[in-house]
Amino acid sequence: MIEPTLHFSRQEYQSRIAKTRKAMEAAGVEFIIVSDPSNMAWLTGYDGWSFYVHQAVLLGLDGDPVWFGRGQDAQGAFRTCFMHPDDIIGYPDHYVQSTERHPMDYLAARIGERGAGSLRIGVEMDNYWFSAASFAALQKGLPNAAFQDVTALVNWQRAVKSGQELAYMRTAGKLAEKIHARILDKAEPGLRKCDLVADIYDAGLRYDPDLDAGGDYPAIVPLLPSGSDAAAPHLTWDDKPMKSGEGTFFEVAGAYHRYHCPLSRTLFLGKPTQTFLDAEKAVLEGMEAGLDAARAGNRCEDIAHAFFAVLKRYGITKDNRTGYPIGLSYPPDWGERTMSLRSGDTSVLEENMTFHFMTGLWMEDWGFEITESIVIRDGAPECLANVPRKLFVKD
């Protein structure tokens, strides 16, 4: 039998499962089908680039979880999941991207064989990896089951990080520091953006003996629009040279064992305009106000209100949220898809929750980002990376 490589103790996995089962009981379900790859990894350790095909983790109210996925990917489950091989189910390859049969047909039959076909079953109805066809196949194959939406049920259990999770996120923070140092060193007028992105990946992935770590791939690729394109927050890069007289924000993340530390800074090539200098002043003052509110016992909206109040004094309107929880993630998103730092979110902040305090501004013809990834404490939050909090300027 293959001995898996685990990044957490079996005891920690059992603690996570127990926590999830309490949430299942509170939600009135006896069995869940978890298709979010971040949740799958958190419950079992599974780690593989296989989320483009149908896969899931099954969890009942007793016993170990069961991994379900493409047959050839079961080899990855043997090597990364803590469970016994009997709890790893691979489906035949003729189910992959077939118009005649669906992998959930196969899963429904296996659930029935395990005596769970008549239970109250929760499924993650609203995520990137669970399709309408998946649900239809499960309903057809398990006609006696009572289905219920449990979107984000597992995600919420991940909100408060363990000591080991925080250790991985601090390593990710060190990798984020290396990325931004490389950007500042290499970026200059005439440098093609694709070449700069190659350096970003090199800095974030290459093994560092001082950290005793090499980086993981981030769940979002580097975002680095320049000039008026920076009004759009999610543009990536092209092969055109960088220009003097333009500002570029760099939204990147260090990642280690799938744990992320996003961090953004803005670089202006040449003499910065007054617009950028004013934005820097407003954002940094607002950041301090928001960080002061980011403490256990306060609410998510308290951080947002503190930040937005400062922007208002400067005549700046930001009509989108100003942050979200982070941790273990897979593409296409490094957020945890639960809380938001915005007005109306009264979720109570707890010690060891982690957030990307996303204070970015995207205006009509420019954009500006200086952000921090933070750990909630009883007092002042911990910043996971140490990069000078300012507008960077290079001639």
Q: What is the CATH number of the domain that holds 139?
A: 3.40.350.10
Instruction: For residues 247 and 374, state if they share a domain.
Output: yes
Same domain, 270 and 363: yes
Residues 167, 86 share a domain: no
Asked whether residue 5 is assigned to any structural domain, the reply reads no
pLDDT digits (tens, 9 = 90+) for 289-335: 999 999 999 999 999 999 999 999 999 999 999 999 999 999 999 99
**Which class for 160: exposed (0-12), middle (13-18), buried (19 or more C-beta within 10 A)?**
middle
Residues 20 and 59 in one domain: yes
Instruction: Tally Cβ neighbours within 10 Å of residue 194.
Output: 12
pLDDT of residue 189: 98
Instruction: Indicate the residue among 127, 157, 187 that finishes a domain.
Output: 157
324 domain-assigned: yes
Q: What percent of the chain has pLDDT over 90?
A: 99
Mean pLDDT along residues 353-370: 97
Instruction: Determine the length of the chain.
Output: 395
**Distance between CA 16 and CA 363 in Å, rounded?**
42
Q: Domain check: are 121 and 258 in the same one?
A: no
The token duo for 107 is 């899963």
Can you tell me the mean pLDDT for 383-388? Answer: 98
**Residues 201, 344 within the same domain:** yes
Last residue of a domain, one of 157, 184, 212: 157
> Mean pLDDT, the chain, as a whole number?
98
Q: Express each pLDDT in 331-350 by its tens digit.
A: 999 999 999 999 999 999 99
Residue 195 has pLDDT above 90, yes or no: yes
pLDDT single digits (tens) 271-286: 999 999 999 999 999 9
Distance CA 332, CA 324 (A): 15
Q: Is residue 149 part of a domain?
A: yes
Residue range 80-109: mean pLDDT, rounded: 98
Q: Give the model confidence (pLDDT) of 212-270 as tens digits.
A: 999 999 999 999 999 999 999 999 999 999 999 999 999 999 999 999 999 999 999 99
- 174 found inside a domain: yes
Q: What pLDDT sits at residue 1?
A: 78
The 10s digit of each residue's pLDDT in 118-153 is 999 999 999 999 999 999 999 999 999 999 999 999
Same-domain pairing of 228 and 376? yes
- Domain residue limits at 122: 10-157
> What are the residues whose beta carbons fall under 8 Å from the beta carbon of 148, sequence distance 6 or more?
27, 28, 29, 120, 121, 122, 123
- 342 neighbors 304 (Cβ within 8 angstroms): yes
DSSP 3-state of 367 = strand
Cα–Cα distance for residue pair 67/378, rounded to 1 Å: 38
| Percent of the chain surpassing pLDDT 70 | 100
Tell me the mean pLDDT in the region 73-100.
98
The verdict on residue 3 lying in a domain is no
Determine, yes or no, domain membership for 4.
no
Q: Which residues have CB under 8 Å from 64's CB, separation 6+?
A: 17, 82, 83, 84, 87
Same-domain pairing of 192 and 335: yes
Lateral strand order in the sheet of 392-394: 246-256, 259-269, 392-394
| CATH number of the structural domain spanning residue 288 | 3.90.230.10
Q: Specify whether the CB–CB gap between 96 and 53 falls below 8 A.
A: yes
Q: Which pLDDT value is given to residue 129?
A: 96
Residue 126 lies in a domain: yes
Whether 131 and 171 map to the same domain: the answer is: no
Burial (Cβ within 10 Å: 0-12, 13-18, ≥19) of residue 100: exposed
58, pLDDT greater than 90: yes
Q: Quick one: angle between helices 163-186 and 193-205, nearest 10? A: 150
pLDDT at 108: 98
Q: Residue 395: its pLDDT value, please?
A: 86
Is the same domain home to 143 and 177?
no
Does 33 map to a domain?
A: yes
Packing angle between helix 274-293 and helix 300-313, nearest 10 degrees?
150
Q: Are 277 and 151 within one domain?
A: no
Last residue of one domain, picked from the residues 87, 122, 157 = 157
Number of structural domains found in the chain:
2
**pLDDT (0 to 100) of residue 379:** 96
Those residues whose C-beta lies under 8 Å from the C-beta of residue 197, and which sit 6 or more positions away, are 222, 224, 237
Residue 204 zone, left/alpha/beta (φ > 0; ψ -120 to 50; rest): alpha
Q: How far apart are the first and last CA of the chain?
A: 59
| Domain co-membership, 102 together with 246 | no
